[in-house]
Chains A and B, each alone.
Chain A
Amino acid sequence: MSPAARLDVRAVACPLTWVRTRIALDRLGAGEALEVLLEAGEPLESVPRSAELEGHRVAERAPHPGGGWRVLLVKGSGAPLAAGSWEV
Protein backbone atom coordinates (compact mmCIF):
# COMPACT_ATOMS: atom_id res chain seq x y z
CA MET A 1 0.00 0.00 0.00
CA SER A 2 1.56 3.30 -1.01
CA PRO A 3 1.18 6.19 1.38
CA ALA A 4 -0.71 9.34 0.47
CA ALA A 5 1.55 11.36 2.76
CA ARG A 6 4.84 11.00 4.59
CA LEU A 7 5.95 12.40 7.93
CA ASP A 8 9.28 12.24 9.72
CA VAL A 9 9.03 12.86 13.46
CA ARG A 10 12.31 11.24 14.45
CA ALA A 11 13.76 14.57 15.55
CA VAL A 12 10.89 15.67 17.77
CA ALA A 13 9.83 14.65 21.26
CA CYS A 14 6.55 13.59 22.81
CA PRO A 15 3.85 14.90 22.65
CA LEU A 16 4.77 16.49 19.32
CA THR A 17 5.32 13.06 17.75
CA TRP A 18 1.65 12.22 18.09
CA VAL A 19 0.37 15.79 17.60
CA ARG A 20 2.06 16.08 14.21
CA THR A 21 0.93 12.59 13.26
CA ARG A 22 -2.65 13.39 14.15
CA ILE A 23 -2.58 16.63 12.19
CA ALA A 24 -1.25 14.73 9.16
CA LEU A 25 -3.98 12.09 9.57
CA ASP A 26 -6.62 14.83 9.83
CA ARG A 27 -5.67 15.93 6.32
CA LEU A 28 -6.21 12.49 4.79
CA GLY A 29 -9.37 10.84 3.62
CA ALA A 30 -10.65 7.62 5.17
CA GLY A 31 -8.66 4.62 3.90
CA GLU A 32 -5.64 6.67 2.87
CA ALA A 33 -2.29 5.80 4.38
CA LEU A 34 0.29 7.90 6.18
CA GLU A 35 3.92 6.82 6.41
CA VAL A 36 5.48 7.93 9.68
CA LEU A 37 9.16 7.64 10.55
CA LEU A 38 9.64 7.19 14.28
CA GLU A 39 12.48 6.58 16.68
CA ALA A 40 12.44 3.28 18.55
CA GLY A 41 11.27 3.24 22.15
CA GLU A 42 8.56 5.51 23.48
CA PRO A 43 7.56 7.09 20.12
CA LEU A 44 7.27 3.68 18.46
CA GLU A 45 5.08 2.47 21.29
CA SER A 46 2.87 5.50 21.83
CA VAL A 47 2.17 6.82 18.32
CA PRO A 48 0.71 3.60 16.86
CA ARG A 49 -1.21 3.01 20.08
CA SER A 50 -2.69 6.52 20.03
CA ALA A 51 -3.61 6.06 16.37
CA GLU A 52 -5.43 2.82 17.10
CA LEU A 53 -7.25 4.42 20.01
CA GLU A 54 -8.57 7.06 17.61
CA GLY A 55 -9.80 4.45 15.15
CA HIS A 56 -6.92 4.24 12.69
CA ARG A 57 -5.16 1.02 11.63
CA VAL A 58 -1.48 0.14 11.85
CA ALA A 59 -0.83 -1.57 8.51
CA GLU A 60 2.94 -1.97 8.63
CA ARG A 61 5.76 -1.54 11.08
CA ALA A 62 9.37 -2.16 10.04
CA PRO A 63 12.90 -0.87 10.65
CA HIS A 64 13.77 2.00 8.34
CA PRO A 65 17.07 1.81 6.42
CA GLY A 66 17.82 5.43 7.30
CA GLY A 67 17.33 4.85 11.02
CA GLY A 68 14.34 4.45 13.28
CA TRP A 69 11.13 2.74 12.23
CA ARG A 70 8.67 3.12 9.39
CA VAL A 71 5.04 2.81 10.42
CA LEU A 72 2.19 2.86 7.96
CA LEU A 73 -1.08 4.15 9.42
CA VAL A 74 -4.36 3.83 7.55
CA LYS A 75 -6.90 6.47 8.41
CA GLY A 76 -10.11 5.12 9.90
CA SER A 77 -13.55 6.18 8.88
CA GLY A 78 -14.84 6.98 12.36
CA ALA A 79 -15.26 10.44 13.78
CA PRO A 80 -12.43 11.77 15.93
CA LEU A 81 -12.81 11.64 19.67
CA ALA A 82 -15.53 14.05 20.66
CA ALA A 83 -15.40 16.63 23.37
CA GLY A 84 -17.26 15.96 26.57
CA SER A 85 -20.91 16.85 26.53
CA TRP A 86 -22.19 20.12 27.92
CA GLU A 87 -23.40 18.58 31.13
CA VAL A 88 -25.74 20.46 33.36
Chain B
Amino acid sequence: MLLSDDEVARYARQLLVPGMGVVTQEFLRAARIQVVGGGPVAGPAMLYLAQAGVGILLLDDAAEVAPEDAAGWVYPPDRAGEPRVTAAIESLKAATRWVRPRIHATGAEPTAALICGGGALAREGAERARRAGIPHVVADADGEGGAVISIPPGAPCYTCAFRIGTGVPAPAPVAAAVGALAAGEILLLAGGVLQPPQGRRIDLVRGHPRTSPTVRQPGCACATRA
Protein backbone atom coordinates (compact mmCIF):
# COMPACT_ATOMS: atom_id res chain seq x y z
CA MET B 1 0.00 0.00 0.00
CA LEU B 2 1.32 3.42 -0.95
CA LEU B 3 2.11 6.01 1.69
CA SER B 4 -0.79 8.35 2.34
CA ASP B 5 -0.42 12.11 2.05
CA ASP B 6 -0.49 12.28 5.84
CA GLU B 7 2.35 9.79 6.08
CA VAL B 8 4.39 11.63 3.47
CA ALA B 9 3.92 14.82 5.47
CA ARG B 10 4.81 13.10 8.72
CA TYR B 11 7.99 11.52 7.41
CA ALA B 12 8.93 14.31 5.00
CA ARG B 13 12.35 15.09 6.46
CA GLN B 14 13.21 11.43 6.86
CA LEU B 15 12.25 10.78 3.23
CA LEU B 16 14.89 13.28 2.16
CA VAL B 17 17.74 11.39 3.81
CA PRO B 18 20.00 9.81 1.15
CA GLY B 19 19.13 6.16 0.80
CA MET B 20 15.69 6.70 2.30
CA GLY B 21 12.63 7.05 0.15
CA VAL B 22 9.10 5.88 -0.21
CA VAL B 23 10.05 2.23 -0.59
CA THR B 24 12.21 2.28 2.54
CA GLN B 25 9.45 3.99 4.47
CA GLU B 26 7.02 1.34 3.28
CA PHE B 27 9.48 -1.33 4.42
CA LEU B 28 9.56 0.26 7.87
CA ARG B 29 5.78 0.39 7.99
CA ALA B 30 5.69 -3.33 7.21
CA ALA B 31 8.42 -4.15 9.75
CA ARG B 32 7.75 -5.99 12.98
CA ILE B 33 10.53 -5.14 15.39
CA GLN B 34 10.83 -6.96 18.67
CA VAL B 35 12.23 -4.81 21.47
CA VAL B 36 13.68 -6.94 24.25
CA GLY B 37 14.08 -5.17 27.57
CA GLY B 38 12.32 -2.09 28.85
CA GLY B 39 14.89 -0.03 30.71
CA PRO B 40 16.49 3.36 30.04
CA VAL B 41 18.03 2.19 26.75
CA ALA B 42 14.86 0.54 25.45
CA GLY B 43 12.39 3.32 26.24
CA PRO B 44 14.00 6.02 24.10
CA ALA B 45 14.72 3.44 21.39
CA MET B 46 11.03 2.44 21.26
CA LEU B 47 10.01 6.05 20.83
CA TYR B 48 12.49 6.61 18.01
CA LEU B 49 11.33 3.49 16.22
CA ALA B 50 7.69 4.50 16.58
CA GLN B 51 8.35 8.03 15.37
CA ALA B 52 10.37 6.72 12.42
CA GLY B 53 7.35 4.82 11.15
CA VAL B 54 7.96 1.22 12.19
CA GLY B 55 4.60 -0.52 11.81
CA ILE B 56 4.62 -3.01 14.64
CA LEU B 57 6.67 -2.93 17.82
CA LEU B 58 6.65 -6.17 19.79
CA LEU B 59 7.50 -5.29 23.37
CA ASP B 60 9.22 -8.05 25.27
CA ASP B 61 9.75 -7.16 28.90
CA ALA B 62 8.54 -8.78 32.09
CA ALA B 63 9.24 -6.01 34.61
CA GLU B 64 6.84 -3.62 36.25
CA VAL B 65 7.08 0.16 36.27
CA ALA B 66 9.23 1.32 39.17
CA PRO B 67 9.74 4.89 40.40
CA GLU B 68 13.24 4.98 38.92
CA ASP B 69 11.84 4.12 35.49
CA ALA B 70 11.44 7.84 34.76
CA ALA B 71 14.62 7.31 32.71
CA GLY B 72 12.68 5.02 30.43
CA TRP B 73 10.78 7.97 28.93
CA VAL B 74 7.64 5.91 28.29
CA TYR B 75 6.58 5.25 31.89
CA PRO B 76 4.53 7.99 33.56
CA PRO B 77 5.04 8.09 37.34
CA ASP B 78 1.39 7.26 37.98
CA ARG B 79 1.85 3.87 36.32
CA ALA B 80 4.21 2.50 39.00
CA GLY B 81 3.43 -1.12 39.74
CA GLU B 82 1.85 -1.83 36.34
CA PRO B 83 3.56 -3.95 33.70
CA ARG B 84 6.03 -1.79 31.77
CA VAL B 85 4.80 -3.14 28.46
CA THR B 86 1.24 -1.88 28.96
CA ALA B 87 2.44 1.55 30.09
CA ALA B 88 4.82 1.72 27.12
CA ILE B 89 2.09 0.71 24.67
CA GLU B 90 -0.08 3.63 25.77
CA SER B 91 2.81 6.08 25.60
CA LEU B 92 3.78 4.93 22.11
CA LYS B 93 0.21 5.17 20.84
CA ALA B 94 0.04 8.69 22.24
CA ALA B 95 3.25 9.58 20.41
CA THR B 96 2.10 8.52 16.96
CA ARG B 97 -1.07 7.04 15.54
CA TRP B 98 0.71 4.87 13.00
CA VAL B 99 2.62 2.52 15.25
CA ARG B 100 0.95 -0.65 16.50
CA PRO B 101 2.74 -1.63 19.71
CA ARG B 102 1.94 -5.06 21.08
CA ILE B 103 3.09 -7.39 23.80
CA HIS B 104 5.48 -9.87 22.23
CA ALA B 105 4.10 -13.38 22.19
CA THR B 106 5.18 -16.70 20.76
CA GLY B 107 4.45 -16.83 17.05
CA ALA B 108 4.75 -13.08 16.51
CA GLU B 109 7.55 -13.64 13.99
CA PRO B 110 9.45 -10.36 14.18
CA THR B 111 11.39 -9.23 11.12
CA ALA B 112 14.15 -7.71 13.27
CA ALA B 113 15.04 -7.48 16.94
CA LEU B 114 16.51 -4.83 19.19
CA ILE B 115 17.85 -6.17 22.45
CA CYS B 116 18.41 -3.55 25.12
CA GLY B 117 20.46 -4.69 28.07
CA GLY B 118 23.30 -7.00 28.93
CA GLY B 119 23.89 -10.34 30.60
CA ALA B 120 21.59 -13.24 30.02
CA LEU B 121 18.90 -11.04 28.46
CA ALA B 122 21.31 -10.01 25.71
CA ARG B 123 22.78 -13.46 25.15
CA GLU B 124 19.44 -15.22 24.99
CA GLY B 125 17.69 -12.52 22.97
CA ALA B 126 20.52 -12.35 20.45
CA GLU B 127 20.70 -16.10 20.12
CA ARG B 128 16.95 -16.36 19.45
CA ALA B 129 17.22 -13.68 16.78
CA ARG B 130 20.24 -15.33 15.21
CA ARG B 131 18.50 -18.68 15.07
CA ALA B 132 15.47 -16.99 13.52
CA GLY B 133 17.76 -15.55 10.85
CA ILE B 134 16.66 -11.95 11.42
CA PRO B 135 18.87 -8.86 11.72
CA HIS B 136 19.35 -7.80 15.30
CA VAL B 137 21.08 -5.16 17.36
CA VAL B 138 22.21 -5.46 20.96
CA ALA B 139 22.62 -2.25 22.95
CA ASP B 140 23.86 -1.84 26.48
CA ALA B 141 24.74 1.31 28.39
CA ASP B 142 27.71 1.04 30.68
CA GLY B 143 29.40 3.66 32.80
CA GLU B 144 30.07 6.75 30.72
CA GLY B 145 29.06 5.14 27.45
CA GLY B 146 27.98 1.84 26.08
CA ALA B 147 28.07 -0.44 23.10
CA VAL B 148 25.77 -1.09 20.15
CA ILE B 149 26.41 -4.33 18.28
CA SER B 150 24.71 -4.75 14.90
CA ILE B 151 24.32 -8.27 13.57
CA PRO B 152 22.95 -8.77 10.06
CA PRO B 153 22.02 -12.39 9.21
CA GLY B 154 25.15 -14.49 8.89
CA ALA B 155 27.43 -12.03 10.68
CA PRO B 156 29.49 -12.99 13.73
CA CYS B 157 27.16 -13.48 16.67
CA TYR B 158 26.74 -11.40 19.81
CA THR B 159 28.95 -13.73 21.78
CA CYS B 160 31.77 -13.21 19.27
CA ALA B 161 31.44 -9.44 19.59
CA PHE B 162 30.95 -9.31 23.35
CA ARG B 163 33.43 -7.52 25.59
CA ILE B 164 33.20 -7.21 29.35
CA GLY B 165 32.12 -3.74 30.47
CA THR B 166 32.65 -1.89 33.71
CA GLY B 167 29.30 -2.86 35.19
CA VAL B 168 28.78 0.72 36.37
CA PRO B 169 25.23 1.99 35.71
CA ALA B 170 25.06 4.68 33.04
CA PRO B 171 23.46 8.07 33.65
CA ALA B 172 20.04 8.41 32.01
CA PRO B 173 21.15 10.74 29.19
CA VAL B 174 23.96 8.35 28.27
CA ALA B 175 21.55 5.41 28.23
CA ALA B 176 19.20 7.43 26.02
CA ALA B 177 22.04 8.20 23.63
CA VAL B 178 22.86 4.51 23.37
CA GLY B 179 19.17 3.74 22.78
CA ALA B 180 18.95 6.34 20.01
CA LEU B 181 22.08 4.98 18.37
CA ALA B 182 20.70 1.46 18.54
CA ALA B 183 17.40 2.58 17.03
CA GLY B 184 19.31 4.12 14.14
CA GLU B 185 21.16 0.86 13.55
CA ILE B 186 18.08 -1.35 13.56
CA LEU B 187 16.29 1.10 11.23
CA LEU B 188 19.12 0.75 8.72
CA LEU B 189 18.86 -3.02 8.87
CA ALA B 190 15.07 -3.35 9.05
CA GLY B 191 14.39 -0.72 6.39
CA GLY B 192 16.72 -2.33 3.90
CA VAL B 193 18.65 0.94 3.51
CA LEU B 194 21.86 -1.01 3.60
CA GLN B 195 22.75 -4.61 2.91
CA PRO B 196 25.83 -4.73 5.10
CA PRO B 197 28.27 -7.49 4.39
CA GLN B 198 29.38 -7.75 7.98
CA GLY B 199 28.45 -6.85 11.51
CA ARG B 200 29.79 -3.90 13.39
CA ARG B 201 30.22 -2.69 16.90
CA ILE B 202 29.93 0.94 17.96
CA ASP B 203 31.49 1.80 21.29
CA LEU B 204 30.35 5.08 22.73
CA VAL B 205 32.93 6.38 25.19
CA ARG B 206 32.33 9.77 26.82
CA GLY B 207 30.41 10.93 23.78
CA HIS B 208 32.91 9.66 21.22
CA PRO B 209 31.77 6.82 18.95
CA ARG B 210 34.30 4.27 17.75
CA THR B 211 33.21 1.77 15.12
CA SER B 212 34.85 -1.56 14.45
CA PRO B 213 33.93 -4.67 12.47
CA THR B 214 32.85 -7.69 14.45
CA VAL B 215 35.03 -10.74 14.05
CA ARG B 216 33.97 -14.35 14.41
CA GLN B 217 35.82 -16.00 17.26
CA PRO B 218 37.70 -19.16 16.28
CA GLY B 219 35.58 -22.21 16.91
CA CYS B 220 32.35 -20.30 17.54
CA ALA B 221 29.39 -22.40 16.59
CA CYS B 222 27.74 -19.42 14.86
CA ALA B 223 29.92 -20.16 11.83
CA THR B 224 28.05 -23.36 11.13
CA ARG B 225 24.76 -23.74 12.96
CA ALA B 226 21.68 -21.76 12.11
Residue of B8, B19, B198, B212 touching A84 (CB-CB under 8 A)? B19
Within 45-89 of B, Cβ neighbours of A (below 8 Å) are at: none
Complex Cα–Cα for A81 and B211 (A): 24
User: Nearest CB to that of A19 among chain B residues?
Assistant: B12
> DSSP majority for the A interface?
loop
- A85: chain B residues within 8 A (beta carbon): 194
Given contacts A15-B13, A16-B9, contact A86 B194 (CB under 8 A): yes
User: Nearest CB to that of A12 among chain B residues?
Assistant: B9
Interface size on A, residues (CB 8 A): 17
Within 1-38 of A, Cβ neighbours of B (below 8 Å) are at: 15-16, 18-20, 22-23, 26
Say whether B103 faces chain A, with CB atoms less than 8 Å apart: no
Q: How many interface residues does chain B have, given as a range?
A: 20 to 34
Given contacts A18-B16, A19-B16, contact A86 B22 (CB under 8 A): no
Digitize B10-29: 1 where CB-to-A-CB distance is under 8 Å, 0 elsewhere.
00110111111110000000
Say whether B200 faces chain A, with CB atoms less than 8 Å apart: yes
Say whether A88 faces chain B, with CB atoms less than 8 Å apart: yes
Complex Cα–Cα for A22 and B25 (A): 14
Digitize A46-60: 1 where CB-to-B-CB distance is under 8 Å, 0 elsewhere.
000000000000000
Given contacts A83-B193, A88-B212, contact A19 B18 (CB under 8 A): no
- A42: chain B residues within 8 A (beta carbon): none
Complex Cα–Cα for A84 and B21 (A): 14
- B193: chain A residues within 8 A (beta carbon): 83
- A18: chain B residues within 8 A (beta carbon): 16
Say whether A62 faces chain B, with CB atoms less than 8 Å apart: no
5 CB-based A-B contacts, threshold 8 Å: A19-B8, A19-B16, A22-B15, A86-B188, A86-B196
- 9 closest A-B pairs (Cβ-Cβ)? A83-B19, A86-B196, A88-B213, A81-B18, A88-B200, A19-B12, A83-B193, A15-B12, A86-B194
